A and B are shown apart, each in its own frame.
Chain A
Amino acid sequence: MSAVDPHHRPGAEELLDVTDPVGAVSLIDQADHHLAPGVAPASVQDTVHRAAATPHQAQPYRELGLKDDEYARIKEILGRRPTDAELAMYSVMWSEHCSYKSSKVHLRYFGETTTEAMQATMLAGIGENAGVVDIGDGWAVTFKVESHNHPSFVEPYQGAATGVGGIVRDILAMGARPVAVMDQLRFGPADAPDSQRVVPGVVAGVGGYGNSLGLPNIGGEVVFDASYAGNPLVNAACIGVLRSADLHTAHASGTGNKVVLYGSRTGLDGIGGVSVLASDTFSGSESASGSTARRKLPSVQVGDPFAEKVLIECTLEAFAAGLVVGIQDLGGAGLSCATSELASAGDGGMHVTLDAVPTRAEGMTAAEILSSESQERMCAVVIPDKVDDFLAVCARWEVEAAVIGEVTDTGRLVITHHGETVLDVPPRTVAHEGPVYERPLARPDSQDALIADTTASLARPQTGELRELILRMIASPNLCSRGWVTDQYDRYVRGNTVLAQPADAGIIRVPSSSAASGAAVVEGVDAKDDATTVRGIAMATDCNARYTMLDPYAGAQLALAEAYRNVVSTGGVPTAVTNCLNFGNPEDPAVMWQFSQAVRGLADGCALLGIPVTGGNVSLYNQTAGVNILPTPVVGVLGVFDDVTRRILPGIGHEDGETLLLLGETRDELDGSEWANVVHGHLGGVPPRVDLDAERKLGEILIAGSRDGMISAAHDLSEGGLVQAAVEMCLAGETGARLVLPADTGLDAFTQLFSESTGRVLVAVPRTEELRFTEMCSARQQPWVKIGIVDAGNPAGPHLEIQDVATFGLGELREAWEGTLPALFG
């Protein structure tokens, strides 16, 4: 919902009196929710006929977010003014959120840089509800990240909860069983007063919905930065699994096929902006009686995860029984989006009767029914012979369903309400041929000063100060344990989770019962094959927005590199990429420059690594009081395992005396680092160098090492550098270690410990495998250095000793690392 002003918090105080209707008496009547059941609203509504007869009636198109020229174009397409329902549909479908009008010209670059080799495993790509990749043995995986930023600021719990619900339905619409979720969260400063409202609300919402739904949350991100203070980012990811043969795409084909709306009833929630159709057209006086007053409708929705759970089972059973031709989830823009996209992608015609839509409120107008964002609804296209079977499946799951229309060959989307035509449009003009903007973009003049302001001028600590610094850094909000967040999520439900937070990537087995085919789809009926399945998938998502601010092209590639490295650090083979591009105001040329650079960086990076971008999401207008967020292109990498029992753990402690090797090169790269942020509040300079060839080589070594059992633990180095990785490996494995920093690097201890050079992974190798592993590295020109040993036998208890720097008991480290978020948020 990109266009929502983040400062607009629809509160109870916003009561709009509906008064003195001019030419809109009927709207008031229909707006009256006190009508007794069965009492039909007055018959006059804004029909196509009426629109043609009243060409000059003023319409609140600006309040609905349409520009003058966009409104003019709608009139040109229709040859008359739009009806209220048409205006509601066009305005929401032509919004930034739905039409990608600012980003489209740049997103094309993803397609242009995707080679045939990269497409080989791609079954469905950009433009579908979610991308689908073949992972072998007839299995396919679909995955996607989507933003729910603005709703989560307005109402943190429900905003985050319905964000999870929305992405799960996207995955479901591909015919896949959703098997895991992840969340990428960004908040204002951890100690800011509003964070006390937003952070616990969002985290509880993610957990409350996902846990109730019975989906494991296997990872994600939590980042704090002042730029997100009035505009938190709540991105939600979902992974689904299906048999390749069962892939379904959203389209409405076959004249005469029926359109079925099923799931929860359609209510007045989430209508938000469309309220102006019923309010702003009425001007000012206080003459209307209180009983007909139309309140400004809330733009938030409350989700019902239990309704979503039966919707999943019901949908998968209908898929398995071959009852559906096409399917579409209802998310942003509700029925407007579902009907126009289904019709546009199919044979091009559809007739829908809104009277058939089961509603929760009396007397909803056509525009309200079409715009409602009530949760937990889906739309299916079913051949006439199968309608009874489809409805029977819905009934079995106690899911309400109604035939609301049928596919036609007219090339028009026609919608009737109370027997009158309220909408008659060419569907492609709504869904796929919306406005496209070549917005001006310009590298801001301030960028040079930002890059010139490096960390060279910042005071660096003496070796004697490092002990205190290490404790301070691991306790800082962006480096401390995410346990307070992830412990509120169910990570192991369904029993297929191999690794979850705090591992680098989440891993789940691909369970046989996830097949959307045959009887196996019914839970519990066919779980016997599960024990033998070792195929699995890994997913990691990352973005360092500070780097992206310094260099958006490199920053996007750094996000890709880190997610890639996280996947290979567990032994997974990177296979596909998705993204969620969160940026500021696209009308600011500097933001469009950041956006275009990030897209190019990510696409070029994927081409170098040879893995395709299968889909993504764009969220613009993320700003607070005119200040844009740090550019935040979240990148997700999907990895595949032939055998998840070969996964590499993040914690050391497999056996005493194992060798710790640092793979990759360490340079003096502290610009944009977490150290500069925590100690100096500084952001400037040049981000760490990107070397995707080195990342790929590192990946090949880790994957080979995992397959051959040469690596017993691995953890990638990113924010916080070497010392952060070492602390986390010790704490995850509850085992001590001794580190000896190499003396011949020309870098002091501080730089070696805190530099954020990329392409580095800390690994533990059994002594019996050390020679074989290091020879493999040397043979492949992979830089490596022996940096310490696993020390499980310290009589004084487990310690992390960094020779000539400091020694810590693990208890002391744990207290610092784990104490921060509970102290802030209880």
Chain B
Amino acid sequence: MARVAVDVVIKPEILDPQGKAILAALARTGHAGVSSVRQGKHFDLEVDDSVTDADLEEIAGGLLANPVIETWTITRLDGTADGAPHAGAPADAEPEAAL
């Protein structure tokens, strides 16, 4: 068994109305200095050893994320560090694209 985290955020070019609303709320509640918020979804998966990186890629791209408007990162939490490069977010993902 291994724990895997999948983080999904809206692609940097695409409008994130919820992030915008959070940013506005931060300003209203006196938290100065925050200039951008991008929000997303976090998934914790428990998978057995038969689940390959390619399987995880398929799970993330096919169900957890909407590849048309979202990017994602897959991280194996126990033992092996992440690594699975994937289609959703290029290596140069925008700083705000990572949670």
A residues contacting B by CB (< 8 A) are 9-13, 15, 33-34, 37, 154-155, 158, 264, 267-269, 271, 290-291, 293, 295, 297-298, 300-304, 306-307, 360-361, 374-375
Q: Once the chains bind, are B12 and A12 in contact (CB under 8 Å)?
A: no
Shortest C-beta distance, A540 to chain B (Å), equals 33
Query: In the assembled complex, which residues on chain B have CB atoms less than 8 Å from the CB atom of A9?
Result: 68
Query: In the assembled complex, which residues on chain B have CB atoms less than 8 Å from the CB atom of A268?
Result: 13
Bound together, the chains give a CA A37 to CA B95 distance in angstroms of 14
- Majority secondary structure, A binding face: loop
Q: Which of A297, A304, A307 contacts B13 (CB 8 A)?
A: A297
Q: Which of B44-99 contact A (CB under 8 A)?
A: 61, 66-69, 71, 86-92, 94
Q: Once the chains bind, are B90 and A15 in contact (CB under 8 Å)?
A: yes
Query: In the assembled complex, which residues on chain B have CB atoms less than 8 Å from the CB atom of A33?
Result: 12, 94
Query: In the assembled complex, which residues on chain B have CB atoms less than 8 Å from the CB atom of A302?
Result: 10, 14-17, 69
Q: Once the chains bind, are B94 and A300 in contact (CB under 8 Å)?
A: no
Q: Say if the beta carbon of B20 comes within 8 Å of chain A.
A: yes
Q: Once the chains bind, are A304 and B17 in contact (CB under 8 Å)?
A: yes
Shortest C-beta distance, A451 to chain B (Å), equals 42
Most A CB atoms within 10 A — which of B10, B13, B61, B86? B13
Q: Once the chains bind, are B13 and A267 in contact (CB under 8 Å)?
A: yes
Q: Once the chains bind, are B88 and A12 in contact (CB under 8 Å)?
A: yes
Known: A12-B61, A290-B92, A293-B92. A155 touches B68 (CB 8 A): yes
- Majority secondary structure, B binding face: loop
Bound together, the chains give a CA A11 to CA B92 distance in angstroms of 17
Query: In the assembled complex, which residues on chain A have CB atoms less than 8 Å from the CB atom of B15?
Result: 264, 267, 269, 301-304, 360, 374-375
Q: Which of A11, A293, A303, A306 contacts B90 (CB 8 A)?
A: A293
Query: In the assembled complex, which residues on chain B have CB atoms less than 8 Å from the CB atom of A158?
Result: 69
Known: A11-B68, A12-B67, A158-B69. A298 touches B11 (CB 8 A): yes
Query: In the assembled complex, which residues on chain B have CB atoms less than 8 Å from the CB atom of A295?
Result: 90
Not counting A154-B68, A155-B66, a sample of 16 additional A-B residue pairs whose C-beta atoms are within 8 angstroms of each other reads A10-B68, A33-B94, A267-B14, A267-B15, A268-B13, A290-B90, A290-B91, A291-B92, A293-B90, A298-B14, A300-B14, A302-B10, A302-B16, A303-B15, A304-B20, A307-B17
* Nearest-neighbor residue (CB-CB) of A398 within chain B: B24
Bound together, the chains give a CA A7 to CA B72 distance in angstroms of 24
Query: In the assembled complex, which residues on chain B have CB atoms less than 8 Å from the CB atom of A374?
Result: 15
Q: Once the chains bind, are A12 and B17 in contact (CB under 8 Å)?
A: no
Bound together, the chains give a CA A155 to CA B70 distance in angstroms of 11
Bound together, the chains give a CA A361 to CA B94 distance in angstroms of 11
Bound together, the chains give a CA A297 to CA B11 distance in angstroms of 10
Can you identify 8 A-B contacts, CB atoms within 8 angstroms?
Answer: A12-B67, A12-B71, A34-B94, A269-B14, A298-B14, A301-B14, A302-B15, A304-B20
Query: In the assembled complex, which residues on chain B have CB atoms less than 8 Å from the CB atom of A154?
Result: 68
Query: In the assembled complex, which residues on chain A have CB atoms less than 8 Å from the CB atom of B94?
Result: 33-34
Query: In the assembled complex, which residues on chain B have CB atoms less than 8 Å from the CB atom of A300?
Result: 14, 68-69
Query: In the assembled complex, which residues on chain B have CB atoms less than 8 Å from the CB atom of A306?
Result: 17, 21
Query: In the assembled complex, which residues on chain A have CB atoms less than 8 Å from the CB atom of B61?
Result: 12
